Structure 1
């Protein structure tokens, strides 16, 4: 919920727009940017993402799907679990 993603043919990356989650809190942590969201997802949910700000898309994160479907499903579940905690 709250994630928009555009199809980008011919790549193994996705850039979901996470702006709906910026400014949200998890415990005492406020997520102000995609950089902070990526750090939080790695530290708290053990999933690596890249801030979209590195690619000119400050309100997005970059996901690579150059892995097995099993690993991708695990990562997406971790991301969903983490985002569900932000309120």
Structure 2
């Protein structure tokens, strides 16, 4: 993973969570999520991201 766009694709492919790399917004070190979803869906997305990243500890 070399930049935020790669990380966004990594999350999509492995956690099935969509986001946008910050390169598109002038902040290459960041990612952006939409929170136009139910609280339940947002919690599920965060759980998936946490579970994925926990595999690297």
Same fold (TM over 0.5): yes
Higher helix share: 2
For residues 47-87 of structure 1, give each alpha carbon's deviation from its aligned partner in whole angstroms, at most 9, with x where no partner exists. 10100111011000001111100000001111122222346
Name the CA distance, whole Å, in 2 between partners of 1:60 and 1:86.
Answer: 20
Q: Which residue is 1:50 aligned to?
A: 20
Show structure 2 runs of 5+ residues with no match.
Answer: none
Task: Please provide the CA RMSD for this pair.
Answer: 1.3
Q: Could you tell me how far apart the structure 2 residues matched to 1:52 and 1:79 are?
A: 17
Computing the radius of gyration from Cα coordinates, the structure with the larger value is 1
Residue of 23, 44, 53 corresponding to 1:74: 44
TM-score (norm 1): 0.60
Q: 2:6 aligns with which of 36, 44, 48?
A: 36
Considering fraction of residues, name the structure with more strand.
1
Rounded Cα–Cα distance in structure 2 between residues aligned with 1:79 and 1:68: 17
Aligned pair count?
Answer: 57
Structure 1: runs of 5+ lacking an equivalent: 1-30
